[in-house]
């Protein structure tokens, strides 16, 4: 069990980095989606339109 600390730290760093990357990617995507003009967006329905 002498290497358990290194194992936990390695997994923690790897999963933490992956989690931060995922959060940054989603935030950037949402920001970019807000910048797209309504007439250029590729959504299935426009805002205010009943589905």
For every residue of the chain, DSSP letters joined together read: -TTHHHHHHHHHHHHHHHHHHHHHHHHHHHHHHHHS-GGG---SS-TT---
pTM: 0.66
Q: For residue 51, is pLDDT > 60?
A: no
pLDDT digits (tens, 9 = 90+) for 6-44: 999 999 999 999 999 999 999 999 998 889 887 887 765
Which residues, including other chains, have CB under 8 Å from residue 51's CB and lie 6 or more apart?
Answer: 44, 45
């Amino acid at each position: 069990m002498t290497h358990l600390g290194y194992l936990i730290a390695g997994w923690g760093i790897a999963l933490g980095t992956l989690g931060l990357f995922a959060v940054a990617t989603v935030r950037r995507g949402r920001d970019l989606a807000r910048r797209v003009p309504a007439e250029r967006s590729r959504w299935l329905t426009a805002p205010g339109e009943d589905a």
